[in-house]
Structure 1
Amino acid sequence: MSVDARGGVATVERGESKGAGPQVSWRPPPMRAVVARCVQVVGLFDAVTSVLPSWHHRMAALAHLMPTAGMVTARAATGVVGLLLVYLGAGLRRGKRRAWQLTTVLCALSVVLHLARATPGPALIAAVLLGVLLVERDRFCARGDQRNRWQALGVCAGFLGAGFVLGFVEVALRARELTDPAGPMRWAEHVALGMIGISGPLHFERAVTTTTVDLTTGAFGLLAFVAGAVVLLRPGTRRARWETGDEPQVRALLDRRGDGDSLGYFALRPDKSFIWAPSRRAAVAYRVVNGVSLASGDPLGIPSAWPEAITAWLADCAAHGWTPAVLACGTAGGTAYRRFGLDAIELGDEAVLDVPGFSLQGRSMRTVRQAVGRVRRAGYACQVVRQRDLDDATLAEARHCAVAYRQGTVERGFSMALSRFGDPADGDCLLVLCRDGDGRLRGLLQFVPWGTDGLSLDLMRGDRTAENGLTELMIVSAVEAAGELGVRRISLNFAVLRSVLARAEQLGAGPVVRIWARLLRAMSGLCQIETLYRANAKYQPDWQPRFLCFPAGRDLPRIAVAALSAEAFLPSGRRRLAEPDPCA
């Protein structure tokens, strides 16, 4: 079946796979990708040929029709048009309507420029490509960000204005070198024509002066149009917002169907939006970052309704030309997304504790057992309580602790963090408050609900001057109190690429795995990759894989940048509304 979403087309095909039931695949129209690649090839050809030596007999043939300066200008403009076509190919592949409009104009301009250069062969190729673009125009309907249009005009006008003023001042300073007297109006005419690559009416005594003025005006004119095109085609975004009724419906889905994914509660972050299935029985939580629609975790709701929600989400991506990606989904969610044509790679593993089977006994738990005993002998004790049961004074103290013990000024997280503390709507969150012998609060943990019988670790704060073993005591205290609270499983931290480190420790590990593990250990100083793995592994958890889903390998760099921006490891590149401190 096909899903049309007001300007975007997602192609969904169903087929039968042996033993797997109906398979679904989503992909952009193949012809669109072919057109985009052809545009890039033609653009690259134009850029290369513009710097190759010209045949003198061709220039001589046009000498009586066009001045030499015009042919040189056409040569330079051809190179610029070629580079812009290469850049526009990426927008065409995503179905951007504005990319199609600019490409159509540039192809028509390319025909004229090639004729001016006496190269009819490339002119014919550009004309054929122009015809293909006109025939296939209905395939490029993705809407752009309306704000980009005005920003592009502002950038273009700014560079044009700066170039005009600078060129005018330069001509005024060199007015004594003019061969013929001229007034300010002629100066302005010369500068304006120079900014579009046409020789003006002024002539200077020295050729180097003429070249300098032409380079100044031409460079600013070229920069203005190139910068305007880049801003116009900049990936669009969507400000995260909840529609009326979204929050209660999401909470209802989590109450009824939240047992499957430990990350489900994190969909309630205020920087996520929701795409709902028509039946409202399932939804995809996502955020748009730099042209990537980044979903996180498994879809919410009833698994049988997931395909409807995923179809709606992909149709929304197609309508806006966004790249779909899913960060940290589980096996069930990854399987559902893969049926829509998204590829999947293992991102890491989530550590999950089985509460009934957890014990501090045994040699494998000796490190944890000793750390807990040492801290308890030092007088530390933990209080395990639901947030709604805390009095105002204790909750305010915990808020202060969460801010004071945070490392850095940025609250990181997107897929596996709530990024707020003490919100009245999160009364079901479980807090572990650890105090020393003097009653001072030295550390805290916050767990969010995971269905009806689980908890998922959200926040971990500790005083670095506290006794060694503080974290172990808080986690063990949470497990010990879990039975009385009806909790049977607790999700701890996420370990990136844990399987690589684990396989490297096994007997007979190959050289590729060991080299890859050494690289991860070298990166651990910046990203704490191995540190998180070791910190989780000592509790002997069950490891559950998490996956990254993406359309194609060429999209991975953009998706990686978007994911790091969403997790606050990189600036988002967009100015956002000021948000209150998550712990205020």
Structure 2
Amino acid sequence: MTTDDMTEQTTTQKTQTTNITNARRGDVKPPTRRIELGPLAQDAVDWMRRHPLTVIFAAMTLAINIGFALWCMATGSAYPPLFGRISYRRLAHGMFYAVPLALMLVGHPLRLLLDVPALMAAGSVAESRFGAAKTIWISLICSIGGLAAGMGVSVMVNGHLPIWHSMMRFGYVLGPLTLAVGPVMAASAFSSLMWRRRVRVVVYAVAAALVLYRGEPGDYCIMFAAAFGHLLGYLMSPSASGEEQATQTRMRITRIEARKMTGVLTAVCALGPLAALMSPVHRGPLSTLGLLMGPNRFDYTRLHECLAGAGTADCFLQYRVQRVSMPGGVIVSVLPLLMMLVVAYGLYRGRRLAAWLSIMLNACTVVMALLYCFIFPIVQSPDGIRSLIMHGAVRTAFSTATLPLACIVIVALTLRSFPLAIRWERLVVALSIVVAVFVMLCIVYVGTGLARPAEFSTAPSLAMLLADLPQRFVPIGFLNGLAPLFLPASAFTSAVYQGIGPVFWIVALMVTLWCFLDSSMQGERERHQASQLVEVDGESMSFMGTWSGNRYWFSESGRSVIAYRVVYGIALTVTGPFGDRGEWSRDLKDFAAFCAEHSWTPVFYSVHEAQRDELSAMGFTSLDVGTEMVVRPEQWQTRGRKWQDVRTAINKAKREGIVDVMCSFDEAPLGVQSQIIDISEQWAEEKSLPEMKFTLGGVDELIDPRVRLLYALDGDGIVQAVTSWLPTWRGGVIVGWTLDFMRHRPESPNGVMEFLIARMAERLRDEGAEFMSLSAAPLAGISVMDGVDGENGDADGGRSAVPDSGTVFLQHVLMSVADIIEPVYGFHSLFRFKRKFQPEEQGVYIAYPDAAKLPQIALAVVQSYLPDMKPADVARFVRALGQ
């Protein structure tokens, strides 16, 4: 035992003796044993302490609803209790005491499983932003406004329904979400642009689905309470400066965020019709499913009278009850919802097939809504328009078609956000299976009707069977105003009558899911081969050639490859060749010949000096497009005045408890992955131009397990900044790493990026890496290089002392592009930032053979960096060039 240990032990013993003596005297209390909680339990306790209002309100909601549910069971009365409901008649008589209870009660105790988590999520967001007192009065303002507007509009829309008179008599509850939705919408005005959009889109989508598919007065109140919260948040939030307002006006949604939000909206639209099951007010294609829970009885005698020619309103009710009484009809109504959920999953994963299926299915919904709810009832009803209006077909068609039309528009506008294709072989197999099953089922149905006509209520003819056939595959909600042509009268014909629809939808569902789970894409085989060759030999930026969006040219031996993309007839490479280094010189010539065969102009982008010289000897003209910053880890040190900023950043990070963590994306905890994605999405959406691609990676490029992540984590487990590093192989061995992804939170401490890069240099120094490249800032530091005349080149490789006019033109175009995007992406600032680390500066170049193609080359470079650029962006770009 050391002297320090003995001293510490002695001090501890003295302290314990003193505490015991003081406790005996009564001066101090003896120390109490503290109960240690697990990490999750401690987090829950901390969350409850920070959100007391939310906890109290959720507990009151649970206690009141469970208490009244038990009381109603004990007394045999209906739930919710009559005195806890409100109606227009009761409010007119001054019975306002029922309003608080109506806002706390839910329509069915099982709804607490959905409402209570929603209350806790919404309440915690609002309370964290406003505090308890301000959240209460915001909730009161929004709920009072929502009640007044929502109840008034619900009367105007649904006041003519017979069921509305019953609701006015017995009353209804509003639900606690009416109190919670306003504050969360108001709080969204104070969040980041990305989360502001997420909260508002999801809240409005859910409220719209409830209104259009269920239509209770409480749903209208939720919708208007959300609108009042939105308005109140806008009025309360601090006024943005002119520059911030311009940024918000030009705010763009990234591809990843677009497909996530589109997938969520599609899922909401798919689940919306299920709301009809929880309410006596039925809407949408699944409206008749609500009859399963209602008091209606199936009258076979009355149904046969209706089929024999009777045409009253009661007949339509019997048709609906009859269809619901058949399990096959119910299953056919549920399976399309599951199909839309599968499509929503495909959209969320970025599948192009899911986007087209979403458009197709929603278009079919709109067409069938018009046919079965509007056109066919007019043709069949002797009263024409009058009967149509009486049976609510117009209203049903409108409510059914509204959200599908909105989904079509949203998916069409974000179609480019779903780039992942399915292999053609798998698509052909899937389509063949679906078509074959459909044809087979149709043959079975028609054959059964013709072979056993006596086993139906009316002997069907071929025409009748073909006319009834589409109804076997359509959700029964679309058939409310359509009289059945015949009904099955035996077990066998009933099984065929009800079974062909579910079988078809089950097969289609399984085949669609099989397509979405395809792990490969078009060109994935070539990309996989290129990914293997990059591990043989390459340069500092060769790994960028393995990213999606590239095509691949392989040498005759297959041991080397060039990654490129064709834009405006320009075959623009992503750096030079990689793979077998001995083939690189030959690859440059063979690739140029390959492009000539396809009438493309080969343009080599981001090549280094050695390859530039070889291309110059081939008659290419070159221009530098950036400067790569290379650090030698074995020489890394931070001594001297030049390193003052880096030393300060390192020391500041240590004082604030920030640590660096290195791993791959898959190895990172799920919470860290989510934070990295959010940091990236927020960074990208605050730019006035679309997210740049080509030689600049995003979240999609982080997922490769060969890519290293180095992120800064503070003491609270918050990711403050993240960088990604791309490997470079030589002879099958990693010799260096190249910086690619650099993003941080807006509120992260200054110097956190310097800290991460410095820590990476220290790590690579310890590993013995040959180099650490900070990559090149695209289009920064441009200067005219060698103007080349292919026929009159000088002995030094075709260099000319005077640059040609074409090179100057391309230089000016790229400099104009750099000037336009500089305020957004700050490449010149990035260029200066990287110089803090005292790197070696190495030029990267663009080499092209034909000056006549310069306009196409300029557009190809811009389009490659900004693939999501729209015509308005192009017009702004062209105007800027002319200034």
Higher RCO (CA 8 Å, separation ≥ 6 residues): 1
* Structure (1 or 2) with the greater helix fraction: 2
Answer 1 or 2: which has greater strand percent: 1
